[in-house]
Chains A and B, each alone.
Chain A
């Protein structure tokens, strides 16, 4: 029977199967009383049920929040000290949240079927306790264990719901298929596993793709309106103009574009050249909107890049199932950037042998901590797993083969070579917003602006960026290897690699936003 369910999930039928027709219900999130609510993410979860159950990423939890305030309320609870008996297995995560009440709330989540049950009185689904528990789990702060009764009940209920939905099949179209013998046993199933066209995981994917396509089409219409009426339109100065669009893009599950749109709201009127910056970004958005609607005709790596840029999440388990990229990875730079309500840390790694770049991302909402497992200036022998994409920059760290050691032999390229590297990266993924290079250059003044210069040329630094003073002081105006992050607005200095020390110059997260780490 178990296998039969798996066949349903994968849409595979080893023996031809039976064709069933039924209306596909959205996967449900179960409330305190077993009531169900629909959530888009659940579709994605069901699609991936067959994959090895793996921890969610923080972004997936953020996406599950029914409203931003739920996430805000969940943050203070997403600390181990608020949970008693927290545990997880390959199907569920559970715990008892201590609070003002004498009795803690019992919370359990079936993270495969995305079913939630919490004993709190909240009618918001999922409640703040469930979100907090998921965040804790996503950060790896929940130990594996044996599910208690209340967690097992959630899983059983979710499985029963699935079985009930399967039993409600109204119409069965028989397809000639060899009937397995009784000797095959219960595991194989005496009845050929049914296939529900609408329960096919591709149906969920198709639904989501359709929503995304509609969102992209709306974005393009909006862009069209903007250039038709002109950037001087006073409506552009209103945050709501951008925020409304961003909200609609989130509804259409293209959250990556929503972030870019919200960032643009802060650019309007911010400096004299804001219209150039806004226009460039509108061009990049148009490019993504167009590419996103033609993903089927793009080469697979490019399609993966487009999907990632517009906000399609790839499960960690799928990434970790790839081929590892093993090397001694030097931690070349760090950059913390606040994006909306989340602090994002980028750690740039470079293979000492391959010379390839990789980027580790970590996220922290208010009161959380950013990943500090790798320090700038060190190197670690490790397996990295790359997310799919044309550049394949983003990685997950797999097995580490040794302890971190000071990174040695860091050399910088010329300014001209750096331009070539950036150009190649932009040609591969034209919408990227940052790319690292390590240059051997000196900070210098060109008029009112700081630049990095060598004998062959110069590159401007972003105006007002942090770290320029420290770079100038520690280099004393001499050429040193510097890791910088290219952005369309100039270079951001991240690290100065001096002969006797490494200076981390990258933008730092607001300490009042993060928990003491």
Chain B
């Protein structure tokens, strides 16, 4: 059948104006051609191609068994919970500046990446040595095993990772006036932000610095801050910014608590 198919491919490439279609091998296809004879070579070829295509598809046969791959070394750390996979996808889609902290939280909580997350996380950071190295720590032996089988997941950065930076979050620019809020009591931070947003003193122009502030402030302040921002006057011109900041605060708090070990 394969030889016959290959002959038909050759004829189809050249065209039946130049070469006649091959005679079908004895059997069903030959019977088909005999039952419904076609007058022109092109029609005969089309008929035989259609028949042969159906036979090849319907007659799907398994190939020879293949040796399975040896599994990776066992990693005793518990994997990130299934819900965290969804959270990671949201982080990556909506607030990618939280991803470093998410990966660090996985490592600090003595967890490993859920297996299904290993390929996308490694692929995402293969051009950044530090982030890739951090992801490899989170992935554990499975990460090395995956790179062995799928080399495109390996790091392509030219410079080696800086070990000292692996356990630290990258610094984000925060204006000096807001720096005290990073470590201020939660109630004070919440009050300050809510008042600024309600009075529209904080507006769209401040979004970048406020996002950086919320991404780096003490995590224990997040619930209070999110609650306060949620209560910003809906008629305030900064309500759109307030929604965005509240979403960021909620998400950061959620992702950090979700990764804590029970």
Residues of A within 8 A of B (CB): 220, 223-225, 227-233, 275-276, 279-280, 282-284, 286-287, 290, 415-416, 419, 422-423, 426-427, 430, 442-446, 451, 453-460, 469-470, 472-474, 476-479, 486, 488, 496, 501, 503, 505, 511
Residues 148 to 189 of chain B near chain A (Cβ within 8 Å): 149-150, 153
- B47-58: CB near A (< 8 Å → 1, else 0) gives 101111110111
B18 contacts A477, CB within 8 Å?
A: no
A229 contacts B15, CB within 8 Å?
A: yes
List chain B residues, Cβ under 8 A from A230: 12-18
Closest chain A residue, CB of each to CB of B43: A224
Asked if B82 is an interface residue, CB under 8 A from chain A, the answer is yes
List chain A residues, Cβ under 8 A from B63: 446, 451, 457-460
Q: A330–B14 Cα gap in the complex (Å)? A: 49
Q: A496–B53 Cα gap in the complex (Å)? A: 30
A453 shortest CB reach to chain B, Å: 4
A232 contacts B119, CB within 8 Å?
A: no
Q: A365–B68 Cα gap in the complex (Å)? A: 42
By CB atoms of chain B within 10 A, which of A233, A280, A458, A479 has the most? A280
Residues 79 to 116 of chain B near chain A (Cβ within 8 Å): 82, 93, 114-116
Other than A423-B58, A430-B57, give 9 A-B pairs with Cβ distance below 8 A.
A224-B40, A232-B14, A232-B15, A279-B9, A283-B52, A457-B62, A470-B120, A477-B68, A505-B116
A279 contacts B8, CB within 8 Å?
A: yes
A282 contacts B118, CB within 8 Å?
A: no
Given contacts A446-B63, A473-B115, A476-B71, contact A283 B142 (CB under 8 A): no
Of A220, A280, A442, the contact of B68 (CB 8 Å cutoff): A442
B71 contacts A478, CB within 8 Å?
A: yes
List chain A residues, Cβ under 8 A from B13: 230-232, 275
**B contact residues, total (Cβ < 8 Å):** 55
Q: A223–B46 Cα gap in the complex (Å)? A: 8
A202 shortest CB reach to chain B, Å: 30
Given contacts A231-B12, A232-B13, A280-B53, contact A422 B60 (CB under 8 A): yes
By CB atoms of chain A within 10 A, which of B12, B18, B118 has the most? B12
A282 contacts B66, CB within 8 Å?
A: no
List chain A residues, Cβ under 8 A from B12: 227, 230-231, 275, 279, 282
Closest chain B residue, CB of each to CB of A287: B50
Asked if B26 is an interface residue, CB under 8 A from chain A, the answer is no
Q: A100–B58 Cα gap in the complex (Å)? A: 57
Asked if B45 is an interface residue, CB under 8 A from chain A, the answer is yes
A224 contacts B17, CB within 8 Å?
A: no
Asked if B64 is an interface residue, CB under 8 A from chain A, the answer is yes
A-B contact pairs, 8 of them (CB 8 A): A224-B40, A228-B41, A283-B46, A426-B57, A443-B69, A456-B62, A459-B63, A478-B71
Asked if B208 is an interface residue, CB under 8 A from chain A, the answer is no
A457 contacts B49, CB within 8 Å?
A: no
B142 shortest CB reach to chain A, Å: 6
Of B16, B56, B61, B149, the contact of A227 (CB 8 Å cutoff): B16
B42 contacts A227, CB within 8 Å?
A: yes
B115 contacts A474, CB within 8 Å?
A: yes
Q: A456–B65 Cα gap in the complex (Å)? A: 6
Of B43, B54, B70, B153, the contact of A287 (CB 8 Å cutoff): B54
Asked if B34 is an interface residue, CB under 8 A from chain A, the answer is no
Of B56, B60, B123, B153, the contact of A419 (CB 8 Å cutoff): B60
User: Which 4 pairs, one residue from A and one from B, show the smallest C-beta to C-beta distance?
Assistant: A457-B62, A230-B15, A469-B119, A283-B49
A485 shortest CB reach to chain B, Å: 13
B4 shortest CB reach to chain A, Å: 13
B43 shortest CB reach to chain A, Å: 6
List chain B residues, Cβ under 8 A from A460: 63
List chain A residues, Cβ under 8 A from B115: 470, 473-474, 476
A227 contacts B15, CB within 8 Å?
A: yes
Asked if B28 is an interface residue, CB under 8 A from chain A, the answer is no
A283 contacts B14, CB within 8 Å?
A: no
Given contacts A280-B53, A286-B50, A473-B146, contact A419 B61 (CB under 8 A): yes
Q: A426–B60 Cα gap in the complex (Å)? A: 10
Given contacts A416-B62, A419-B60, contact A233 B15 (CB under 8 A): yes
Asked if B262 is an interface residue, CB under 8 A from chain A, the answer is no
A474 shortest CB reach to chain B, Å: 4
Given contacts A426-B57, A460-B63, contact A503 B43 (CB under 8 A): no
Q: A87–B52 Cα gap in the complex (Å)? A: 53
A477 contacts B57, CB within 8 Å?
A: no
List chain B residues, Cβ under 8 A from A470: 115-116, 119-120
List chain A residues, Cβ under 8 A from B205: none
Q: A430–B52 Cα gap in the complex (Å)? A: 11
Asked if B72 is an interface residue, CB under 8 A from chain A, the answer is yes
Closest chain A residue, CB of each to CB of B153: A469
List chain B residues, Cβ under 8 A from A223: 46
Closest chain B residue, CB of each to CB of A496: B116
A236 shortest CB reach to chain B, Å: 11
Closest chain B residue, CB of each to CB of A423: B58
A122 shortest CB reach to chain B, Å: 33
Asked if B59 is an interface residue, CB under 8 A from chain A, the answer is yes
B15 contacts A453, CB within 8 Å?
A: no
By CB atoms of chain A within 10 A, which of B43, B46, B82, B120 has the most? B46
